[in-house]
Structure 1
Amino acid sequence: MKRLFRKMSLKKRLWVSFVLLTVVCISVTGTYVSVFFSHEMENQATKTSQDTLNKTAQVFDERLRNIVVSVSTFMMGEPFQRTMRDAQANNSKDYYNRLSQLQTPFAQMMLAEQSIDSVLVHTPIGDFYPTESRRSMAVDFEDTSINEMILDTQKRWSTLWVRGHAEELFSRGNPVISLIIKPLFEMQLPGVYVVVNIREDHLQELIQAHLQEGNLGQLVVDRSSQEVFSSVPAMPENMQLNERIGSSDRGHFEYLSESGNSYLVNYAALGMNPDWVLIGYQSKSKLLAPVQHMRWTILTIMGVCVVLALIMSSMLSELLLKPLFKLRNLMFKVEQNHLDVRFESVFEDEISQVGHKFNRMLGQIGELIEEVKASEQEKRKSEIKALQAQIDPHFLYNTLNTIYWKSEMEEHQDVSGMIVSLSLLFRLGLNNGREITTLRQELEHVAQYLSLQAMCYPDLFQYEIVAVDEKLMNIPVLKILLQPLVENSILHGFQELPHQGRIRIEAAAADGFLTLTVTDNGSGMDAARVEKILNGTEAERTSYALSNVRARLSLYYGYKASMKLESEPGVQTSVKLIIPIQEVING
């Protein structure tokens, strides 16, 4: 794909870029809007559902609390208390009298709370209930599921709630929720319970009355995910919520069913019975249906924009690239060595600026050609001067004179060595006409020169070339850099020295630079003054060796190469040549 894009013309690349930019911008915008609105709608629906749920739970709790208060008021009445005293004394002879006395409190309680379907007070001396409610005599209290639940409950309790079931004690048979309360009496009476049956349909109407969302459903479950209302349809997809709800009082989460349907679920525990939880659920797909419609609208807009982009991009690319094509044609002419062409345009845009730069570049090319010619001539002159310095007549005279006298004295081995050193010196200096040599050959060249000078001036100086890392020996360097520096030390540093001189040559590399150092213990110099002279004009230069080396470094390496002078007269003088290694290799 990348290779195909590179082979396209600029016009086609602009055309493709316009289309891609349009598609990407609309896609990103549409995706962001879709995700943003989906997220916002989901958050808003969750918040609204939770608010509705909290309000319903509050009303539901209030109704249950009122029922408990009504039952408590009933139990604190004198008729009920007298009945409890009879149950305590196991006095059953006043059973019908007590049953008659309880009818008025029963009626008052059921009138105050019309959601109460029936009431039964179970005691060892008999059951007490409103006589208007038809008691199912075939069913004994000990045989009911309510009694089984009482017996199965291990923890201590004063009130016990039983989830929805068919009424067993009375013949009405309505689905009810039962509240079992131990009597309020001065002492605990075993086997005495007040059973209040509450109609499910009244409580269900209470829940439905506070629903405002059309796709929001609410129901009451216990913490084991069992429905509290037996007459209400089961939860959708048989949600198993006990693991998600745990022991928390309220919250929300997203539920994914086994069939792949997603639901937003809110829950709030009831204050009167924390084991019962009011659940609110709504289908996420129905909730986000408007977002799906919006996505199709965005796709339609995207398709229209792509078609427009195809048309407009072709026209725009043709218009924008016209000056660039003109500039390209001029470059073709320049390629044919027509350097007199010039770009002209009435516009002042970026392409016109490039065209004006192109015109200026053509003008500078001519100037650079002349500068390159002059620079090459200067390099050749510098090289000739360096070679001339190498074959200085005074050096040749002293060398040949030493060879002659050693020959006369029949020191044939020294004569052979000097001739070989002189031959190698010239061969390495010429370097087959190349300007660049290696560090190995440069060190060998200066070693041959020092060997000859040591024979010409016995006991004048000693020299040392410090061993160099083999990895550095093949680094390319400009030839004849060290010999002028060594010559400068011998001629100017050791001539009037009262003791034997020492010359030390080192080479090291760090941070991409090669450093060549020539150190002697000669008479020294004023380094600051010499630096000032080297920076002056040609007429002011008095140190030919240093100025020659510095000029050649500048010509070949530019500003990245440098020469540093340090001197303490009579102690140590050093000249450091710093050369960029990478620049030389690339060159």
Structure 2
Amino acid sequence: MLTIVSIALTGIMSYWIAFRSTENEAFISSQNTLNKSTRVLDEKLRHIIVSTSSMMLSDPFKNAMEDVFANNSASYYTRLSSLQTPLGQMKLIEPSIQSVLIYTPVGEMYATNDLRNGQVRFKDTIFSEYLNTTERVVWLGDHEDALFLGKTRVISLIMKPVTDAAVRDVYVVVNVKEDAIGSVITDDLLDHSKSYYLLSNNGETVLPLSSQPPPFQNDPSFLEQLQKQDRGFFKYDTAGNKLLVNYSRLTMAGDWMMVSVQQQSDLLRQVNRIKTITLWIMLCCAVLAFVLSNVISSFLLKPLHKLQGLMKKVEQNHLDVRFTSKYEDEVTQVGLKFNRMLEQISSLIEDVKEAEYEKRKMEVKALQAQIDPHFLYNTLNTIIWKSETSQNRDVTEMITSLSLLFQFGLNGGNEMTTLAKEIEHVKQYLILQQKCYEDLFDYSIELEDESLLDRPILKIILQPLVENSILHGFQGMDGQGKIHIVIASTDDHLVLQVEDNGEGMDVLTVDSDMRREQSPAKSYALRNVYGRLRLYYGNQADIRLSSEPYDSTTVKLTIPLTGE
């Protein structure tokens, strides 16, 4: 009798443990999936904000803001035309952007290929209630785009510009395609037994992810649970229907929250199957208990010892071990869950590694994409002028150099190039600038060892330094400027040095500003190159500065020869 009672208690405890373990695993697995989707969405929103901020840093936008500050509407069409390039670049960098509207007191500015709905005034739309907030960045949930024709469903970003001129009543509205954001969230959600919602703090749907309306939308107690912390999970009972709820708040839109809901009954199907199997095992064991008690005890302890041995190996970081058994008993169920846990741990480790690698690549690409294209406008204007004055030979040379500059700069989409291509890239840039600024400067390139030409190197690191010399070093000089590029190597490093005889710089101030990630100062090119070198080579790469005005200003880059 004692044996039967023991078996019964074992079965009940196994069922309870399986139930609790399955429920906890469901909560944790759902939370991990939801957190990952939230991070992906946050990264998408962050990229849209960065693209918009980059547009605000462009010269056409700054010029437009100066006109707004001066209340000068006479140059409206000139500013609208000049803004087409940065607005077009925003859509190229972030394809999910549907349209962009810059509202100013002197007139609205937008991409001319977007059809503005002239019957709707900006301040008569749903955006009006968000214009007087103190926040610089505001996200607006699912709505119909009333500013442009097409009646597209979008979510919107409203940003106030940060400019040198203290402009007022200026707003940048970025409309993002609803389906693009929806696919970012749902592409990695493989469990269709759950319902997912993107909600605001007041429970309203920000973006429709599920065909079913939220069963808890008007329940204050449910919304109160969501406000307790940024992420977590809890049980929720509505009309006798028990739900398992996970939630995670976004960081880029603080009043938005991802919520997943799963029926507890769906989760218990597997547990009930375990219960049925357990009952049959209990019945068989009760019949054979009096005869085979010792054998059964030995039989049950053996897999436990095996599982214990595997756990000790896991403690020593051997995550490739797995529990195997040809039986279907309670220990086997625990062993299988142990296997699943190890697989999830291994998968999460790989996910973290991959996410860090992708983040590193995206940051490198984002920094490369920030290189100011202002010289391109000067180059095209010079080509037009020389063409009109019949300087055909110069026109041919400039078009050839511009083509080669883009060819070496794009480099087939690869971040890495060779030293030979990097030298050729900066040479074509210098040729173009000499044509644009005749008699402003001369240059020379000194290569210590031609065997270095095949060395891999991060692309577009010399051009921003040369651009600094031309734009900031020579503009105020009376005589001719000189640029001297020296390329040499030590035992384990490649040394790239750009020297000019320009007006120089305050080395301590520029060096301090260069090494800060965010800075209001204008040492943009140096901070760009320094940031990219650190992202790709880490602490093995560095930049050193020295300056004697109108004699020798030097920027020296040190890069590991083994970095690829």
Give the structure with higher Rg (CA).
1
